[in-house]
Structure 1
């Protein structure tokens, strides 16, 4: 489609939203110096990051957690189906325990850390755990608030500077702490808030020139910090829990993890043996009472025999005593069991009494189902206690555990009802036997009756005491043999540290990438919001009008650059435009070229002068008309008098031959604009202007018309109807993209003959010369209109 047949639809259907990757690349490369500077800064930043960032390590420890009591009962099967496996639930419970505030705080308290020391390394502060240069003693009665950074600067072998500038809450009120003082080593330093003494661990002179800071440890904040830092996880098909954390002070965190595991195992053993310990306490309480009863019975028995000179009982008396003793022994055991059953009934369902549960075997109860249920209930209470450190009430595992406790409680209540009834029946039967045998005792001599009662009481108390001692010994053996079903696979240790800092090469690559990315993004964002024309692609995307040529940027300050510097690149660009003119004229009689711009400062007059000059240099008779009668400039450039010109001719004051003036350039004549008239547009619409052009066509090979900007006045639109080629001059970085829409509208109305474009002010560089020569290049600074 030729320019002469361009219609409004084609001129207004240009797509602006397509992304031209090649355009963006050349736009960014056009500011290569930005990229170079930012690349250097990115690499420098990456280097300093590598040099001064503390090294990070992964500290870890692993535990094997077995479940020796999980069994295959209904509840375990139910939990396994609901929670994806009993093992998973158990390990999750242990992780919750390990992540509890209570356990973490206990570990920190056991380590007894008092201060946190750091040393400055150029820009950053590095922790120096166990390598702090001073031994610090707190002053009694000093406040010494926790978490406040105190800076220590050694000044000499005897003095140091101590300063602080921080804010903290004291009794819920913000308090500003700021001081800067000089203090002495080995002497107390004291002010309103702090009181301590520093004792150098080495020669104080070796510390001069270094900077340190410390703070008194806030154990609550440190506990919360470790709760966030420590990660606990386990694999799907194993029973191993791995505790790990990222550390810049690995030795400190090695000590912490190992202490945490130690406290964890200690607490687990405490929870596992609490039933045996409660049973042992129960037996000890019983023994303390029975021991005094036994001593009293023994003394009574000895005194009675000595006082009454009785050595042995008669055979009948011995038989009766043995029977009564056997009945009382059995009755005593039944009473103890009955009391246990009733106590257990009271404790069931009462979580506050859960810690008072003791094993039935302690009181000689051999019922297997009862023993199993009580032990299981005690274990569930212990597990729930662990979970309640961190789990919420709506935790699925906790809900299932409560359901299991409720089920066992119901079963125990049913069993206990029957056991209480059976035991009471047995006690009643023993009482009946006791009464029958006791009647036989009444028929014996009084002294023998008394001896039998005393000896029977002594033997009974002695047997109960022996029974309790035996149970106590069994419990002590059980406690001594108790171990938790958790084993440390690998404790945290220095040899197992894993460096986790990114490689130096990777960080340098990231620095280089960011150093290139950031300026590139800035350039692209700036381009997105910048409405000016940046590259030739901007023009090609927004208009179908052909581009006759590109005018290169020149450092020559002369307006007549093609004359002053004929070998320059800009002169060559005008030669290219001169050559391309033959493709725009369809007949030899077409000679009139109108030069237009949408706004000032786009280089329209500069282009008009140099285009006319380059045509004249090719031995073409050329005339340059200054049709911009509102802001004339041609007379100043060619050093001509402007008292007469186009305006005086159009008003009838001069003839054509009187306004045509030769210039210092061979074959180039100039018609200046003349004095500024009040009505330039009306003058250009007169027949005299058409007559002027017809006359000039018979005398010259080319007629160049330098017009006023079309966005300001209509002068150029009037002359464009007479021009056989209308060239709009656009300037990089100055002309706006919206101007192309305006040009499209003008050209689309059909009143402008043969419209085309010239792009002004193209900057050539080593990077883009080949690209720019084919009209794909960057822009630079140019000339004023």
Structure 2
């Protein structure tokens, strides 16, 4: 209840500050305490259900050490590293691309041979049950058994179960709806248009009813893609360690997957490392196959010629010529083989399709260290590119880097091969000249000895080549048997190394409690922010500089005269406080108090009557005037007639004595509003109203004016000019701040 002395000053408002009023915030929260309690309960309950029914999540990981033990510490490898500009980081990135390749991951999935994915329902959550499936499922090759569509299994008894499907599959580019629910028997094939399989319980079937299960047939391509998205790879910046990890709710399944992926990766690496040796071995085998036949034929020809001509040994001159020719032919054969290799290698360079035909130079007796290292390097790069190309696009940084490295090796090989071909061709020409000169000496010998020398020379040459190839074959087989992959598994994926990812249950409960309090708290503050009603005395103090005479408690009594019926109630004490404050506000000979409100329902008439009563109880002659002639209420409150009242007096129809009514309350009189006139505002503006107040001042100590709401009509504004003190009634939760 605010007061304003009638000194014709406007009702100025004061500026609101932006500081947070903690007292106000606390009041707002406590006023809606039941919201907070409900939010706290829901928050803790939600957190508890989350902890109970959310499956545990773990990080499954494995780590690999990338080494290069096959190279060792030698000048050749140091030279190659410097020449190729290779780096540990680039090597690790290449290995990561291997591990991320679709081909490698699909091979791991294929090796594991997973057929189905089973889950069990826990209240509303479906949890995976890898290797704990209660059924054995046997697929029939005759059924379609589409992958990816959930199949729900509900055990009904020891012999029967309910099977239902409701989903879509894509067949021949069209979406096909599958929906059915049937009863099937354990151990008997379940067949329909789409499925054909047999379900058999693993354990006692009497324990199964009451549980819910579902499974789906696995699409290996989709599962591979899923793992490619889930598995994360990383490598140490200062080390040569590769780490693989995956977040899992079925850790055993993903442990098996990561370990199988590493096994396939190591096998592929070993194949890549020994690919050149294997191709060399195939090349030697193909050469041995042809030379073996030539050797047998030469041996038979040599034996038959000696027997037929009865020649056992050559003459000393013949032996010397034969040795020289054999030596020249052996060198020439070796040189020609090397020359053919150089030319073939020159044609293969830059041709990816011919990459699989690269053979190590050492197989044909080429001992050039640089050439051997470059060819081995090129073979390894082509093998890496072949694997990487399965999963990487042409603009993939690793593939671009690999192509650049291949082109560098090709360029270096081209430069080396030009010199090698020229030098080898020169050596062949020199051997041809020597061969011609010695062959001329052979022509001077007897014909029979010439034939024997040629036959024996051909046999021994073929035999030496055959022996050389056998020796190289044995060396390659030993090399393959001793080959080990240059990757070491530091820590395989295993249960002991699982990293829990779930938050602490206590922490989740605390978060739930915090959110349970925060959300309703924010809602309360948001509602208050949007609410234009006055709820606290501070709201009034921020909006106006007018003094507040007092606060009246809320009344639950049916009677509106609470100070009369409950003189000792707290609400009555609040009116006594207001009465005391009014005595300090009113100056000498000031008696007229006007009560106003902005809108109906703010308690203006209730406060006017009780204020008048509390004045009368203090032995002060008090009169209350019902100026609200549009909606009269005073007569009903005091059970008085409204046939004559203020409207009659202002219209000149009655005297002041005729309209003045004494109530049952001592010292309290009432002037009712009277019959509702057509023009209340005009009547109040007549001099008669001022004249009435002057008459009443002579008779009463206090005059209380109960006005109409100022927002609806101007009646209250007119009477305020006649009041010594105007009181505004503001009701918490009803009165608006912007009024």
TM-score, normalising length: structure 1:
0.89
State the 1:340 CA deviation: 0.7
1:120 aligns to what? 121
For residues 418-475 of structure 1, the C-alpha deviation after alignment (integer angstroms, 9 at most, x for no partner) is 1111111111111111111112222222222222111111111111111111111111
Match of residue 319 from structure 2: 318
Further displaced range: 378-387 or 536-545: 378-387
The equivalent of 2:707 in structure 1 is 707
Match in the other structure for 2:529:
528
**How far does residue 570 in structure 1 lie from its aligned partner after superposition?**
2.3
Q: Could you say what secondary structure the match of 1:630 adopts?
A: coil
Kept after mapping to 2: 8 A contact 1:27/1:535: no
> In structure 2, what is the equivalent of residue 728 of structure 1?
728
**1:356–1:574: structure 2 CA closer, same or farther, 3 Å change rule?**
farther
The alpha carbon displacement at 1:666 in A equals: 1.8
Q: Tell me if 1:247 matches 2:251.
A: no
Pair 287,534 (structure 1): closer, same or farther in 2 beyond 3 Å: farther
Q: Encode CA deviations 1:49-108: one digit per residue, 9 max, x unaligned.
A: 22222122222211112245696669769968xxxxx33332233222212222111111
RMSD value, Cα: 2.3
The C-alpha deviation readout for 1:242-279, integer Å capped at 9, x for no partner, is: 22222221111111111011111111111222122222
Greater displacement, 366-375 / 642-651 = 366-375
Aligned to 2:717: 717
Offset of 1:730 from its aligned partner?
Answer: 1.8
Q: CA deviation at 1:144?
A: 0.6
Shift of 1:385: 4.1
Deviation digits for residues 193-228 of structure 1, max 9, x if unmatched?
A: 111101111221121222111111121221122122
| Residue equivalent to 2:36 | 35
Deviation (angstroms), 1:366: 1.2
Q: Which runs of 5+ in 2 are unaligned?
A: none
Alignment of 1:532-611 (within 5 A): 532-585=533-586, 587-611=587-611
1:469-508 alignment, distance < 5 Å: 469-508=470-509
How many residue pairs get matched? 732
Query: Per-residue deviation at 1:576?
Result: 2.2
The match for 2:148 is 147
- What residue is the counterpart of 2:689 in the other structure? 689
1:324-723 matches, within 5 Å, as 324-585=325-586, 587-723=587-723
CA shift for structure 1 position 10:
8.6
Question: Structure 1 residues 570 and 391 mapped into 2: Cα distance closer, same or farther (>3 Å)?
Answer: farther
CA distance in 1, matches of 2:4, 2:654: 37
Q: Tell me what 2:178 maps to.
A: 177
1:606-635 per-residue CA deviation (whole Å, 9 max, x = no partner) reads: 121122122222222211110101111111
Rounded Cα–Cα distance in structure 1 between residues aligned with 2:365 and 2:681: 126
SS at match of 2:666: coil
Q: Contact (CA 8 Å) 1:647, 1:674: kept in 2 or not?
A: yes
Distance 2:145 2:173 in 1: 16
Structure 1 residues 180-189 or 399-408, which shifts more?
A: 399-408
CA 1:356/1:625 → structure 2, altered by over 3 Å: closer, same or farther? Answer: same
Equivalent pair of 2:626/2:672 in contact (CA under 8 Å): yes
Aligned to 1:752: none
Distance 2:132 2:47 in 1: 29
Q: Is the 8 A contact 1:272 1:382 kept in 2?
A: no
Q: Counterparts in 2 of 1:75-154, with a 5 A limit?
A: 86-154=87-155
Question: Matched residues in 2 for 1:488 and 1:634: separation?
Answer: 96
Distance in 2, matches of 1:388 and 1:486, equals 22
- 1:504 Cα deviation from its structure 2 partner: 1.5
3-state SS of the aligned residue for 1:116? strand
Deviation per residue, 1:334-378 (Å, 9 max, x gap): 111001111111111222322322221111111122222222333
Q: 1:398 to 1:188 in 2, by over 3 A?
A: closer
- Structure-2 separation of matches of 1:352 and 1:362: 21
For residues 526 and 291 of structure 1, what CA distance do their matches in structure 2 show?
99
Structure 1 residue 236: Cα displacement: 2.5
Q: Within 1, Cα distance between the matches of 2:83 and 2:318?
A: 61
Contact 1:97 1:389 in 2 (8 A): no
CA contact under 8 A between 2:136 and 2:200: conserved in structure 1?
A: yes
Tell me if the contact between 1:643 and 1:674 (Cα under 8 Å) persists in the aligned partners.
Answer: yes
1:551-579 Cα shifts (integer Å, max 9, x gaps):
21122121112222233332222222222
Residue pair 1:97, 1:390 contacting (<8 A) in 2 also: no
What is the distance in 2 between the residues matched to 1:23 and 1:78? 74
How far is 1:132 from its partner? 0.7
Of residues 236-245 and 328-337 in structure 1, the stretch that sits farther from structure 2 once superposed is: 236-245
For the 8 Å contact 2:6–2:723, the answer to whether it is kept is no
Distance (whole Å) between structure 2 residues aligned to residue 543 and residue 220 of structure 1: 74
Deviates more, 1:313-322 or 1:377-386: 377-386
Give the Cα–Cα distance (whole angstroms) in 1 for the partners of residues 537 and 679 of structure 2.
37
- 1:372-427 CA-to-partner distances (Å, cap 9, x unmatched) read 22223333334444554555544555444433333332222122111111111111
State whether residues 103 and 387 of structure 2, in contact with CA within 8 Å, keep that contact through their aligned partners in structure 1: no
Instruction: Name the CA shift for 1:672/1:6 in 2 (closer, same or farther; >3 Å).
Output: closer
Verify the 8 A CA contact 1:574 1:614 in the aligned structure 2: yes
Secondary structure of the 2:549 match is strand
1:762 aligns to what?
Answer: none
Q: How far did residue 150 of structure 1 move?
A: 0.9
Q: Distance in 2 between matches of 1:473 and 1:211?
A: 62
Partners of 2:191 and 2:598 in 1: how far apart? 79
The reply on whether 1:25 has 2:19 as its aligned counterpart is: no
Give the structure-2-normalised TM-score: 0.95
Q: Between the two structures, name the one with larger relative contact order (CA 8 Å, sep ≥ 6).
A: 2
Query: Structure 1, unaligned stretches of length 5 or more?
Result: 81-85, 740-785
What CA distance in whole angstroms lies between the structure 2 residues aligned with 1:703 and 1:77? 112
Is 1:157 aligned to residue 158 of structure 2?
yes
The whole-number CA distance in structure 1 between the counterparts of 2:671 and 2:507 is 68
Q: Which region of structure 1 is more displaced relative to structure 2, 366-375 or 337-346? A: 366-375
C-alpha distance in 1, partners of 2:59/2:340? Answer: 57
8 Å CA contact 2:533, 2:736 repeated in 1: yes
Q: C-alpha separation between the residues in 1 aligned to 2:698 and 2:246? A: 93
